[in-house]
């Protein structure tokens, strides 16, 4: 079984998120999503509309997602890759090159984002946060 992992905040889930999750899942047989906790988002200076529990429940309802785990620190990615025996690490191309150090542990794939949509844009247009 080929295992894939990705990470993110996944607040205000939209079709760009679905595109990323679907494409990530096509790279393997089992998709794990590391979901940023509220506390970790505070460190990243991100404020979420939905709580961690609500975002987790939404992700678990998406057919491409097999398991949701909490992301609590930048450094945990390497240990998660080892713990879950990950074959492929996937992240949006806005992070291009930032996780190349993980290439010694697994394949690293930067997927193109859906250019016309983002949570930041949605929040800005709706004047949320």
- Distance in angstroms between the alpha carbons of the first and the last residue of the chain: 41
What CA–CA distance (Å, rounded) separates 4 from 34? 11
Separation CA 99–CA 74 (nearest Å): 10
Query: Is 89 buried (19+), middle (13-18) or exposed (0-12) by CB count in 10 A?
Result: buried
Say yes or no to pLDDT of 115 above 80: no
What is the pTM (predicted TM-score) of this model? 0.89
In the structure, what pLDDT confidence band is assigned to residue 113 with cuts at 50, 70 and 90?
confident
Map tokens 């150090």 to a residue: 101
1-19: b (≥16 Cβ within 10 Å) or e: eebbbbbbbbbbbeebbee
Is pLDDT of 4 > 70?
yes
Instruction: Evaluate if residue 122 carries a pLDDT over 60.
Output: no
- pLDDT given at position 16: 86
8-52 tens-digit pLDDT: 999 988 888 999 999 999 999 999 999 999 999 999 888 888 999
Catalytic residues: 44, 46
The C-alpha atoms of residue 18 and residue 110 are separated, in whole angstroms, by: 16
């Amino acid at each position: 079984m080929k295992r894939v992992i990705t990470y993110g905040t996944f607040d205000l889930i939209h079709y760009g998120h679905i595109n990323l999750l679907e494409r990530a899942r096509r790279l393997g047989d089992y998709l794990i999503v590391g979901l940023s906790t509220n506390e970790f988002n505070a460190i990243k200076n991100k404020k979420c509309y939905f709580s961690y529990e609500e975002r987790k429940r939404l992700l678990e309802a998406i057919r491409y997602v097999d398991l949701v785990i909490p992301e609590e620190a930048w450094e945990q990615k390497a240990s998660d890759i080892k713990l879950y025996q990950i074959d492929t690490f996937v992240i949006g191309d806005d992070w291009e090159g930032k996780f190349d150090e993980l290439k010694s542990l697994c394949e690293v794939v930067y997927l193109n984002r859906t250019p016309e949509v983002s949570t930041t844009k949605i929040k800005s247009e709706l004047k949320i946060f």
